[in-house]
Amino acid sequence: MHYPVLAAEAIEYLAIRPDGIYIDATSGLGGHTAEIARRLESGRVIAADRDAESLEMSKRNTAEWSDRIRFVQSNFSELAARVSETETGRVNGLLADLGVSRYQLTEPSRGFSILADGPLDMRMDRNQRLTAADLVNFTAEKAIADLIFKYGEERRARRIARAIVRARPIRSTRHLADVVERAVPRTGPLHPATRTFMAIRMAVNEEQRELDRLLESVPELVAAGGRVVIISFMSLEDRKVKESFRALAHAGRAELLTKKPVTPSDDEIRNNPPSRSAKLRAAAMV
Ligand SMILES: C[S@@+](CC[C@H](N)C(=O)[O-])C[C@H]1O[C@@H](n2cnc3c(N)ncnc32)[C@H](O)[C@@H]1O
C-alpha cells in the first residue's frame, strides 16, 4: 500500500480545476499524480521525475487515468524547458514532494539502503555519471566531513569522514554502514549511518541546487492565479521554500497560503510513520 504524504492537504491547496493543467514535479510512484488526475475532466497532469524506473511505476499505478497524464523524465533544473516542449503554456498548479521515495530507499539495487546490501549508487537518475561510490572513494576527507556536517546535520562528521577515508575503497552500502557504525557509537533508535547516508545522497543528486532551480523556475512555470505546493522533509529544504515564497510575496508575485507549514495529522503519522517529518507550504501566484 502506498500512501502519498499529505495528499488531502496538497489537493486542497492546489485547488484543482477540472479543466486545469498541473505539474507533479516528483511523480515517484504516482500517488499524488493519481489524486490530481482523478479530479480532472478536460485537464491534464504533467508527471515528471528524474528517475526513469519510478516514472515507469507511476505509469503503471496511474493507468486508469492515462488519457489525462503526460510523463516527462526531467530533473527540476530542466523542468521549465521540458514543459515548454509540451506546449502547454503556464500551468494552474505545481506540486513537488521532495526527497526520495520508499521504492528508492528500500530497493537494494538502487544503493540508498542502509539495511540491505547493494552497490553504492544513490543516483536518482541512472544516466548521471557520479555515483555515491565515486564520491565516497575520491573526495578529500575535509570535503566529505563538510558535506556530512552540512547536509546530514551530523555533529560527528569529522570522525566519520576519517573512518571512510581509512576504509577506502568502499563499494557497497553495507560496507559504508559498517564503517560508520564502527566509527561512531549508536546513540538512539536510528542507525548511526542514517545522517551520513542522507548527506551523501543529497550531494550525489545535488538536491539543494536542484531545489533552488525549481524555486527559481516557479514564476516561469505557474500562471497568475495558479498554486504552488511543496512538501519537504528536512529543515534545510523547508527553509529554502519558506524564503523563496516570502521573496515572491514581497515582490508582489505571490500570496502566501500557509503562514506556518502544514504537518500530517496524528492519524496519517500512525498509518505512515515516514510522513512524520513532512512540512507543506503553499502559495498562489498573482
Ligand atoms: C518523495 S518521492 C515522491 C513520491 C510521490 N509524490 C508519490 O506519491 O509517489 C520524490 C520523488 O522525487 C524525485 N526527485 C527528487 N529530486 C528530483 C529532482 N531534482 N528532479 C526531479 N525529480 C526529483 C525522486 O526521484 C522521487 O521519485
Locate 219 and state its grid cell: 514564476
pLDDT at 119 over 90: yes
Q: Which of 94, 50, 48, 100 is nearest to 232 (CA)?
A: 100
| 55-72 residue pLDDT tens | 999 999 999 999 999 999
Residue 281 in grid coordinates: 507550504
pLDDT band at 269 (very low <50, low <70, confident <90, very high): very high
Ligand 1 site: residues with CB under 6 angstroms? 4, 26, 28-32, 49-51, 54, 75-76, 97, 99-101, 124, 210
CA of 168 to the centre of ligand 1 (A): 31
Average the pLDDT over 1-7 and give the result: 86
pLDDT at 284: 98
Verify cis geometry, omega within 30 degrees of 0, for the bond prior to 169: yes
Please tell me the distance between residue 159's alpha carbon and the centre of ligand 1 in angstroms: 31
| pLDDT higher than threshold 70 for residue 159 | yes
pLDDT score of 54:
96
Residue 34: pLDDT band (50, 70, 90) is very high
Q: Which atom of ligand 1 is nearest to the CA of 49?
A: 22
- How sure is the predictor about 83, in pLDDT bands with cuts at 50, 70 and 90? very high
Q: How far is the CA of 237 from the centre of ligand 1 (A)?
A: 14
What pLDDT does residue 87 have?
79
Mean pLDDT of the chain: 96
Average pLDDT estimate for 148-153: 96
Give residue 1's pLDDT band: very low, low, confident or very high (50, 70, 90). low
Centre of ligand 1 from the C-alpha of residue 179, in Å: 29
- Count Cα neighbours of 120 within 13 Å in the Cβ-side half-sphere: 22
| Residue 86: per-residue pLDDT | 84
Is-contact 170 136, C-beta < 8 A?
yes
**Distance of CA 75 from the midpoint of ligand 1 (Å):** 9
> What's the confidence (pLDDT) of residue 58?
97
Distance CA 28, CA 50 (A): 9
Q: How far is CA 68 from CA 39, 52, 124, 227, in A?
A: 10, 19, 25, 19
Helical axes 141-152 vs 157-167, angle rounded to 10° = 140
What is the position in ligand 1's atom list of the atom closest to the CA of 95?
6
The residue nearest atom 5 of ligand 1, judged by CA position, is: 28
* Probe residue for ligand 1, chosen from 6, 49, 233 as the CB with the greatest number of ligand atoms within 8 Å: 49
Distance CA(19)–CA(173), nearest Å, equals: 46
Phi, psi of 47 (to 5 degrees): -100, 110
CA-based nearest residue to 36, from 224, 227, 210: 227
- Number of the ligand 1 atom closest to the C-alpha atom of 32: 8
Going from the Cα of 48 to the center of ligand 1, the distance in angstroms, rounded, reads 8
What's the CA dihedral at 151, 58, 94, 44 to 10 degrees? Answer: 170
**Using H for helix, E for strand and C for coil, what is the string for the chain?**
CCCCCCHHHHHHHHCCCCCCEEEECCCCCCHHHHHHHCCCCCCEEEEEECCHHHHHHHHHHCHHHHHHEEEEECCHHHHHHHHHHCCCCCEEEEEEECCCCHHHHHCHHHCCCCCCCCECCCCCCCCCCCCHHHHHHHCCHHHHHHHHHHHHCCCCHHHHHHHHHHHCCCCEHHHHHHHHHHHCCCCCCCCCCHHHHHHHHHHHCCHHHHHHHHHHHHHHHEEEEEEEEEEECCHHHHHHHHHHHHHHHHCCCEEECCCCCECCCHHHHHHCHHHHHCEEEEEEEC
Ligand 1 centroid distance, CA of 202 (Å):
13
Instruction: Say yes or no to pLDDT of 2 above 80.
Output: no
Q: Which of 9, 32, 50 to mutate to test the pocket of ligand 1 (most atoms within 8 A of CB)?
A: 50
Residue 233 pLDDT more than 90?
A: yes
Q: What is the mean pLDDT of residues 11-34?
A: 98
